[in-house]
Amino acid sequence: MRVFVTVVDLGSQSAAADHLDLSRPVVSRYLAELEDWVGARLMHRTTRKLSLTAAGSEILPRCRQMLELSTDMQAAVSEPHDAPRGLLRISVSTSFGQAQLADAMAAYVKRYPGVSIDLQMLDRTVNLVDERIDLAIRTSNDLDPNLIARRLTVCRSVVCAAPAYLRDNPPPQRVEELSRHNCLTHSYFGKSLWHFEEDGEPVSVPVQGNISANEASTLLRATLAGAGVAMLPTYQAGVHVHAGELVRLLPDAEPRQMNIYAVYASRKHMPAALRSMLDFLVERFPENPKWDIGL
């Protein structure tokens, strides 16, 4: 698997052979053995370039995860247990950063006082290498396979509105009725179409409204002010639903779920601070996060 990933990263078998200090025939044999084990061809091989097959694209991120796990196992028994220290630059969306990660970082530095955190709240996809980001928290179902990702938890959403809005606008009873409401939308996600699962079937409904924004915190404030109906992540809106400041709508229709990942560029020479941060985030954000309780 390490040979396969290295060939993909470097673009050729000869470059991978040099990097891994192996002969070209050994690299070819390892690739063939992996294909035999998987039961599918992983790469198209020509004299000019290599390209992944559909099976190779499926296998690549899983190979990265298994290699990451093996590295973690080795580090657990071979590295001295020195306290983590140093600076970590972390990129995160504004909404998740404000709602969840800021408190988490406060707890982390209390546990590991030798580590400093530079939190970059950015509502765009950053280039980890060019922007010197050690770790990015991303919400997605389609990650770049060239990066290493550790899944943290699930991101669920809730359709909601403030009581003030619902006093003047009868709440929708079916998802199709959302098209009659003033829906506050995200500029990049679900701008004009909201996706649900209802009775086990996917349902999409066109929506429109007079306020859109490129980050969810602004939509939350507008929703609390009674401007309309919004689809917001539960990590952000859950506390307001529990407090009665927002009312959950259409509880039988589940908005499309996404995953939350911790993403980083390389497992080589991973500093103790980054490894401890990954372990801390997995512990902090379990499969069934506390913000979803009761929703």
Across 11-15, 152-156, 275-279, least confident range: 11-15
Instruction: List the structure tokens of 83.
Output: 């306290």
pLDDT for res 278? 95
At 53-112, the pLDDT tens digits run 999 999 999 998 888 888 767 666 655 566 888 899 999 999 999 999 999 999 999 999
Kindly report the average pLDDT of the chain as a whole number. 90
Domains with residue ranges and CATH for the chain = 2-78 (1.10.10.10), 86-154+258-290 (3.40.190.10), 157-255 (3.40.190.290)
Question: What interhelical angle do 13-20 and 2-10 show, nearest 10?
Answer: 120
Confidence of residue 266 (pLDDT cuts 50, 70, 90): confident
pLDDT for res 145? 77
Cβ(129)–Cβ(268) under 8 Å? no
Confidence of residue 189 (pLDDT cuts 50, 70, 90): confident
Return the number of other C-beta atoms located less than 10 Å from residue 163's C-beta. Answer: 11
What amino acid occupies position 264?
Y
